[in-house]
Amino acid sequence: MSEHLYWLHEQRCVKAVKSLRSNGFEAVYCPNRRDACENIISAAQDAISIGIGGSMTLEELDLVPELRRMGKELLLRDLPGLTPYEQLEVRRRHLSCDLFLTSTNALTLAGQLVNVDGIGNRVGAMTFGPRKVIVVAGRNKIVPDLESALNRIREIAAPANAHRLDKKLPCALTGTCSDCQSPERICRITVILDRMPSLSDIRVLVVNADMGY
């Protein structure tokens, strides 16, 4: 990418960070993925249990090997061999872990975090429960306003995730949302964080890189 485009993205990232701070969040601009990784590893030093929400952004950061080397208890719901009950228990423990790591479906320039969930454990843990939450947002998640955020989720994040998860959904076949009534529908809960929740500690890392869906 040319330095001029990188600069342009940087301006948007910095604007989002300023808005997040105005809304009460702890927000940090990260020039690249490595800076985001270092920030998370530093924050993980004092944590015993670390929950990791389903996120392609976090997968791209490849944090799990380093966190394991640090001796952390990792709450991963997609470990091979887990029964449905054990997966549910992991999701429940996300709500009370020391550190919860996740991404966001969209981030508005006004500093709003916008997410759509199917079960609710991810957005639940984002809003209340863990001692600390770190949300990682790539520059591709930044949108002008709330309407654009919801459109982004409907047109990009949801179809891509439905296809990744091999869901039997219209959007997983066509790439287009049809507001389906399928029992496998993954868009069931919409949560908009306009401000930092009163009793939560949320840090948002805004990264000048395209990450996740």
Dist CA 184 CA 108 (whole Å): 28
Q: Are 74 and 50 in contact (CB under 8 A)?
A: yes
Name the pairing type of β-strands 113-117 and 106-108.
antiparallel
pLDDT given for residue 1 in this prediction: 79
pLDDT given for residue 28 in this prediction: 99
CA distance readout (Å), 29 to 43, 95, 171: 15, 26, 33
Low-confidence ranges of the chain (pLDDT < 70): none
Q: What are phi and psi of 29, to 5 degrees?
A: -85, 125
Dist CA 127 CA 63 (whole Å): 22
pLDDT given for residue 38 in this prediction: 98
Task: Output the pTM of the full model.
Answer: 0.96
* Fold entry, domain 3-142+192-207: Rossmann fold (3.40.50)
Dist CA 115 CA 175 (whole Å): 19
pLDDT given for residue 9 in this prediction: 98
